[in-house]
């Protein structure tokens, strides 16, 4: 289903940009659980072949790293840049490669997934979720101006993508899983084909904070060090004055300097 936000919900001022929080990891809402480096060894794919559907297992490596907040005038997105690579078991050749962004808009709950694969296909899927949601769904539809799909002429001719949908579920053990359906119009077939993928992802590495977050952390650390140094200097100065007073060597004890 095409998703579009009514123009009446947008502010009159389309130019003024607010000051975003530099720490993207603290503002990802439902996408927080996806940040990091992941592996999934139980992938299951069902794709169209000339003789009928073919099911295959796959292994997936995925990396989701936070980016600096992005503004469109008053609109703010916090998000993750991702790259996933899929191989068949006991094989090194890339079975599927995909890059893009996952974005969340706190003000509206809007979710976006952009995806590009190196077979000449790009899509933007959209959905909505609250900050604490543990499950969410996004969809892209061919022909939509808001959540659409475009592909190269051969794919349009032979394997046209009509609809793309993905549902993500976050689990209590820190893992997350997805179920994905791509509806294809396959040349010579009377009915659309439901191409499905599913996997469960387990974390093997933590995310790297985004550049503005790292800069803020560095500034805070430098300010903390400066504060400690100032406090130490003040303590040493106060201690010296107290010692001078106690021994009668300072000017406060009435002595003249040599």
Question: pLDDT for 194-225, tens place per residue?
Answer: 999 999 999 999 999 999 999 998 988 877 77
Domain ranges of the chain: 7-207, 212-253
237 DSSP assignment: H
For 174, list phi and psi in degrees, rounded to 5. Answer: 95, -10
**Could you write out the three-class secondary structure of 162-220?**
EEEEEEEEECCCCCEEEEEEEEEEECCCCCCEEEEEEEEEEEEECCCCCHHHHHHHHHH
Q: Give the residues of the chain that fall short of pLDDT 70.
A: 1-8, 228-229, 231-233, 235-236, 240, 242-244, 246-258
94 close to 113: Cβ distance less than 8 angstroms: no
Instruction: Note the pLDDT of residue 227.
Output: 73
pLDDT for 99 equals 98
pTM of the model: 0.85
* CA-closest candidate to residue 188, choices 55, 48, 59, 93: 48
Gap between the Cα atoms of 173 and 37, Å rounded:
16
Cα→Cα distances 151→82, 141, 177, Å: 20, 12, 26
DSSP-derived 3-state class of residue 50 = coil
- CA dist 79 and 29 (Å) reads 10
CA separation for the pair 35, 54 (Å, rounded):
32
* The pLDDT value given to residue 142: 97
Residues contacting residue 212 through CB under 8 Å, at least 6 positions apart: 22, 23, 24, 68, 69
The two tokens of residue 7 are 């123009």
* pLDDT at site 244: 66
Contact 252, 240 (CB under 8 A): no
Class of domain 7-207 (CATH, top level): mainly beta
What's the pLDDT at 168? 98
């Amino acid at each position: 289903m095409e998703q579009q936000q009514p123009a009446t919900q947008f502010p009159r001022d389309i130019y003024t940009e607010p000051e975003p929080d530099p720490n993207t990891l603290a503002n990802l809402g439902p996408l927080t659980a996806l940040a990091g480096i992941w592996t999934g060894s139980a992938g299951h794919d069902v794709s169209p072949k000339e003789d009928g559907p073919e099911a295959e297992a796959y292994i997936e490596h995925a990396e989701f790293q936070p980016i600096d907040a992005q503004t469109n005038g008053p609109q703010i997105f916090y998000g993750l840049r991702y790259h996933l690579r899929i191989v068949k078991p006991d094989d090194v050749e890339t079975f599927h490669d995909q890059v893009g962004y996952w974005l969340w808009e706190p003000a509206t709950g809007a979710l976006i997934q952009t995806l590009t694969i190196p077979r000449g296909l790009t899509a933007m899927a959209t959905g909505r979720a609250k900050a604490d949601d543990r499950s969410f769904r996004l969809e892209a539809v061919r022909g939509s101006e808001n959540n659409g799909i475009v592909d190269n002429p051969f794919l349009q001719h032979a394997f046209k993508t009509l609809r793309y949908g993905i549902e993500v579920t976050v689990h209590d053990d820190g893992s997350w899983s997805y179920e994905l359906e791509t509806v294809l119009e396959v040349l010579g077939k009377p009915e659309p084909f439901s191409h499905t993928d599913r996997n469960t992802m387990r974390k093997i590495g933590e995310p790297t904070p985004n550049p503005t977050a790292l800069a803020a952390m560095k500034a805070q650390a430098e300010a903390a060090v400066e504060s400690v140094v100032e406090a130490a200097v003040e303590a040493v100065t106060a201690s010296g004055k107290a010692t001078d007073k106690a021994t009668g060597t300072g000017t406060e004890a009435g002595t003249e300097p040599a």
